[in-house]
Structure 1
Amino acid sequence: MRRIRAAVVYQKGGPFQIEDLRLEAPRTDEVLVRIVATGMCHTDMVARDQLYDVPLPVVLGHEGSGIVEQIGDGVRKVAVGNHVVLTYMWCGHCKPCLRGDLTYCEHFYALNFGGVREDGSTSTCLANDTRRPIHDHFFGQSSFGTFALVHERNVIKVPETAPLELLGPLGCGIQTGAGAVINTLKVSPGSSFVAFGGGAVGLSAVMAAHAAGATTIISVDVVPSRLALAMELGATHTINSRETDPVEAVHKIINGGADFTLESSGRPAVLRQAIDALAIRGTCGIVGAPALGTEASFDVNGVMTTGKRIIGIVEGDSKPDLFIPALVELYQQGKFPFDRLVKFYSLDQINQAAEDSEKGITIKPIIRLQS
């Protein structure tokens, strides 16, 4: 077993505690990755705070990037030394997976939030007490550590010419926002788009809408600095919803309402605004992650008689082997500057990173695991 350092959550609400752990060698279909950096996502805090049922203690982290250290005998997708991004996990054998709907895998929740492999096993334990297992395989990776053990399925090779420490967030938050726009909503040239929420997902959506050719792009948030950044990233208008009714403001900017909206805050009241801001036959995508069981309301006739559509979206409907390299290429061409969202922290600063993220000080924290 390999000795690693990782951040462990032992109780609801944290904190992250840095521990010495031991990690198994890869099985035949697994890949050992030396983690260079890992993005911190809202979903990490959702799991830490037990808004989703994730077993504790657990190593979180699900936006890892690193270098392949060792591979199992059956692995053909990557080789030792490859630069990789880690993404979500899917089973590969259920009906949704077989038809290519990877993000709607029948076992998605268990594989990404269950804290174990598909067979129920873990690969991590305390270094000084090997009898005490630590839950891992969060999103198939648990990358808040110096090494991660992942399945061949959810490791994505990326070009060595790209800045590896920057790329981890493409595995979840960034691909969620960009994929919602490009893959699901299919925002088209000349169309109008409104992002409700100006965090990493919402701003990634703004950049993607700009790249897709939308001509009216509105960012809605309550933090002035995020709204200012949205304008720099491609938004044509911004709305501070703390000061202005966003539905009225959208309809004032776009006569008749927006073609597409995206709700990323996870707040039911904001979802209602995103629906009400739509034009006839408009589409609202939902990517925000509230507590399990959260309900929302909308005007049924207002949706039915106008032909509006409301779509749930997981991971931007991404096929990551194709979509993540495409985002890297867009970044390298200067068309998707997601580096504008990030701030780096050391592993010892992980609790500060979480606090800064929750306060809106940092849009996308990235935890460096290697000096």
Structure 2
Amino acid sequence: MRLIEQAWYQNHWLRWLLLPLSLLFWVLSSLRKWAYASGLKKSFNAGVPVIIVGNIGVGGNGKTPVVIYLVKLLQQMGITVGVTSRGYGGNAESYPLTVEADTRAEQAGDEPVLIYQRCQVATVIGPDRVANCQRLVEQGCQVIISDDGLQHYRLQRTLEIVIIDGQRRFGNGWLLPAGPLRELPSRLKQVDAVICNGAEAQGDELQLTLQPGHLVHVASGKTLSVDEFQQAHGKQAQALAGIGNPQRFFDTLAALDFQLHNPLGFVDHHKFIATDFEQFSSQQPLLMTEKDAVKCREFCPQNAWYLPVDGVLNEADAQHLTQLINTRVLN
């Protein structure tokens, strides 16, 4: 675990040194939010409903599975939906960038490419979310889902959905950089739904479960169920994860009865290069997340497989979210 994460989640003494910077962060972010709320700074209406899927902290909390869940839900309702994202980790020559079938993760970022490949949905990335939304409206989108952007108050929103990591929760509860939070937990009282990922939901939170799919061979696209895979390759495996909370992925593999040898976590959005794989043996399967796989298909070793996951809500929570969308977004 990085030193800064020890301060956030293990109460390392470093947090006290960073506390003055957190106070400054709180002052500046509060002033910025007030400026938009008072009209001093102008916010923009996209012209169609906008659903924000965000968080109050840093790191991966499970936003992408929720975005995919919402995209598929709206598509089933017959709604033309689009997705906007900052495209973190991407380096496009110009913005807004519309993700296409041949767009690489180096251009658009790993999550937008994953969302596009999974859903075949209009996806536009760039630092200016207002411009992104305008591009999506031009493409005929009736509803826009913003992947992240809870704190992007320049963009008006119809619905706010916040995802929290059920295991880490809010860490030490402090704002950046002394803690992992962009906004205080009190912000959750103002949003429309809070979804808990990775542990038991608390209070009025909705419960998200990540349901593993079939394992996919990175190079060829061949798929095997977990049982078929373990019959063919055994249960011994190596693993890597470049996501916000790598341990969540390793726990998922362990729950599937894989016996992992020295699983290796990378920082979120890690830009893989071929030499990253030299430390792994070619004699055992190497398992990774789908988010990792979109960044390294061209140079992955032949023993690399990824495990896609789908976000699943129980029946009551799914009905609640559907009703929320029907009443707040589609009416």
From the two aligned structures, give the one with the greater strand fraction: 1
TM over 0.5, shorter chain: no
TM-score using structure 1 length: 0.33
Work out which structure has the larger RCO, using CA pairs closer than 8 Å and 6 or more positions apart in sequence: 2
TM-score using structure 2 length: 0.35
